[in-house]
Chain A
Amino acid sequence: MRLLEVDDLHVTVAGQQILTGLSLSIDAGEVHAIMGPNGSGKSTLANVLAGHPGYEITSGSIRYKDIQLEDLKVEERAHLGLFLAFQYPVEIPGVSNMEFMKAALDAQAKARNEEPMSAIEFMKAARSAAQQLDLNPDFLKRGVNEGFSGGEKKRNEILQLLLLQPTLAVLDETDSGLDIDAIQTVSAGINRFRNADNGVLLITHYQRLLDYIVPDVVHVLANGRIIRSGDKSLAVTLEEKGYTWLSAS
């Protein structure tokens, strides 16, 4: 089943053209990796998919589960199972992680006309997800990202991924700033999330992450569009030869 179909997408930020005709399709059960040099538009793609108000689509289209995504509000996209793990998760002081995640789950359940999870079920699920990511249960009581280390913030994003169980997860440089042990923990979390019905879009700078999360397709993004796609070996070649190899060819 087709989850995501991006067609000839052009996007500007503050008047500046960032994406210049990006096309991409992801089917259920697939993991796609997007690599590319700094400033190529990787984070722009992630933010546009989630509906960040600072980005303007000038032409092209995004279809998600056969729904035109551009017309939907940020939270409506979330209700349809679209999830973004942030590159720089912001702090919300005084709002506990637990309170935040319960509010998110409740809002999504309500939008889908489902029964909200009971407080007890939620506690169990949250504790178990925290344990899988090597996080102390006290972590759940702290303010959202408040005073978290860089690694804790990234793990907290994956914690939310595991709790919310979205259909399409866009992970924006989740590996950056993580040490080797943390990358393994986080990768294990993402692999646990993967199944035949959902999809993952991994945005990363480094081939290293792809040793742990094996992608079905690797895309190279440069100057706002995808210039090459291939299997996992493309990432390995890139690591050896650098992006200049592609732009030169």
Chain B
Amino acid sequence: MSNRFVENLVEREYDAGFVTDIESETLPPGLDESVVRFISAKKNEPEWLTDWRLEAYRGWQAMTAPKWAHVHFPPIDFTAISYFSAPKSLADGPSSLDEVDPELLRTYEKLGIPLHEQEFLAGVVKGADSPATSSEPSSRPNVAVDAIFDSVSIGTTFKDKLAEAGVVFCPISEAVQTHPELVRKYLGSVVPRKDNFYAALNSAVYSDGSFVYIPPGVRCPMELSTYFRINAQNTGQFERTLIIAEAGSYVSYLEGCTAPMRDENQLHAAVVELIALDDAEIKYSTVQNWYPGDKNGKGGIYNFVTKRGACIGVRSKISWTQVETGSAITWKYPSVILRGDYSVGEFYSVALTNNYQQADTGTKMIHLGKHTRSTIIAKGISAGKSNSTYRGLVRTSPTAIGARNYTQCDSLLIGSNCGAHTFPYIESKNASAIIEHEATTSKLSDEQLFLCQQRGIDPEKAVGMIVNGFCKEVFRQLPMEFAVEAGKLLEVSLEGAVG
């Protein structure tokens, strides 16, 4: 049967694609030691950090960009990128949101990001348990937000309330001043500054990002969220996130990202480091909606990100959940190093590609401690002429007695011009380890659509429902308020995927 319905792919709408007209201070394109020193000086950094950056920069110079990913793009000219851009109005650092340029606040308003503490995330109106049947607004918990605009943080909400619990949630540039011992101890401890090409670049030039510290025994009283926005033209965004969960603590953290529609590609090379001590748990969720480029593959963000968590303590747990709908190219592998005995790593992922998008994403689970466990559930959805790749590594070292892994990779194809690929790597050096891998590939068929339509459901809604059903196991892992939003985002991303 011809897939006449699903082959007719047209442009998706990207509703976060506007540009904020704001005066910025932007460095001229190019990278050398003086740029690194400039950024460090701009942030008023101590000497050790300046040296740390310079060391990373020198390491980066000797490295070459990796080519092993299943993605294709022309070489990036790193001399054509500007490595620092900040809205001018923030030059002296506003002491409260009231002093922030209203144009900036409007940007976040338009994106539905709550920068006033009485507000909540917009667009979230239903409980996630039964989106089809419930129309009652559920009680929405507050979410503390750190908003990063181009290279700087423009404000963090709920700081006082978090401080009461002893939680530190602030821009990392501020943490360098207020908690230098923590930053110095943990920065680069999970992702060494010369870990890989893009991590080294980030270490040299990162401008801001979020810092989270949860003291021992504290359950963070609200969701923490960082919202990244790239605005300026020809700039790269290099943010750095560091989350430390002390013994017996818990935190759930969510990041969101958008960028204007521009014709040229923009580089986003972030580093995220998570550290979980004894019995601590970190839940890190991402809803990534960077501009994916237009329907002909022009423009869009290159999302080359290093995310890694270390379960240092016994019985600690790190869980990554990601919903990836944006970016021209996505290249990231949120990983967990399971060092503590009985520690747990989880990776739940939905990666959706449409038009000419490419995604090479997956995870690494490195089992070092005894009886460590990991679960990987990866769902790839390809539409248009896009390619979606799962790449994952499960390694059990000789010390990882009784380690367990379960991996499930499912791919869903929409139309017949897209591709799905799975590259699972398994390195077991321990005979007592149990590693399971399951993979399926299926196609959203005309017959499924026809069944839905025959029952009265229009094709757009039907595709949304079928794709949401496919992703259900992952959405279940998202914080409740965001699960519905993620479902909607998928539907928007697939808009026009059927004619």
Chain A residues packing against B (C-beta within 8 Å): 14, 50-54, 73-75, 77-79, 83-84, 86, 89-95, 98-104, 106-108, 111, 119, 122, 143-144, 160, 164
Contacts and interface: CB of A to CB of B under 8 A. Distances in A.
Given A75-B458, A95-B468, A90 B451 contact: yes
Interface string B435-464: 000000010011110111111111101000
Contact of A78 (B442, B453, B461): B453
17 contacts: A51-B454, A78-B455, A84-B454, A89-B451, A90-B447, A90-B448, A91-B448, A94-B473, A95-B468, A99-B130, A99-B469, A100-B452, A102-B133, A103-B132, A104-B455, A106-B132, A164-B455
A75 B5 CA distance: 14
Interface string B1-22: 1101100000000000000000
Contacts of B178: none
B134 interface: yes
Contacts of A52: 450
B344 interface: no
B195 to A, nearest CB: 36
A104 B457 contact: yes
B465 A100 contact: yes
Nearest to B4: A53
B431 interface: no
B205 interface: no
Contacts of A77: 454
B447 A108 contact: no
Nearest to A74: B453
A114 B470 CA distance: 30
Interface residues of B, number: 32
Contacts of B453: 51, 73-75, 78
A248 to B, nearest CB: 35
Nearest to A93: B469
B472 interface: yes
A175 B31 CA distance: 73
Nearest to B455: A104
B466 interface: yes
A199 B226 CA distance: 58
Most buried by B among A14, A103, A108, A122: A103
A143 to B, nearest CB: 7
Contacts of B418: none
Given A52-B450, A92-B469, A164-B455, 17 more contacts: A50-B450, A51-B454, A53-B450, A54-B1, A75-B459, A78-B456, A86-B454, A90-B448, A98-B132, A102-B132, A103-B455, A103-B457, A104-B452, A104-B457, A111-B456, A119-B134, A144-B451
B5 A53 contact: yes
B325 to A, nearest CB: 18
A180 to B, nearest CB: 28
B148 interface: no
Interface in B1-51: 1-2, 4-5
A79 B5 CA distance: 20
Interface string B79-91: 0000000000000
Contacts of A90: 445, 447-448, 451
A74 B468 contact: no
Contacts of B394: none
Given A94-B471, A107-B461, A50 B132 contact: no
Most buried by A among B2, B455, B458, B469: B455
Contacts of B5: 53
Contacts of B468: 94-95
A54 B2 contact: yes
B443 to A, nearest CB: 11
B425 to A, nearest CB: 27
B454 A79 contact: no
B73 to A, nearest CB: 33
A52 B447 CA distance: 9
Most buried by A among B5, B448, B451: B451
A95 B466 CA distance: 7
Given A94-B472, A99-B465, A103-B465, A75 B456 contact: yes
Nearest to A85: B454
A108 B458 CA distance: 10
Given A119-B133, A143-B469, A75 B451 contact: no
A107 B454 contact: no
Contacts of B448: 90-92
Contacts of B447: 90
Interface string B459-497: 101000110111111000000000000000000000000
A52 B176 CA distance: 63
Contacts of A95: 465-466, 468-469
Nearest to A157: B451
Contact of B454 (A14, A78, A91, A111): A78
A160 B472 contact: no
Nearest to B412: A93
Nearest to A123: B133
Contacts of B452: 92, 100, 104
A78 B5 CA distance: 18
A74 B469 contact: no
Contacts of B459: 75
A145 to B, nearest CB: 9
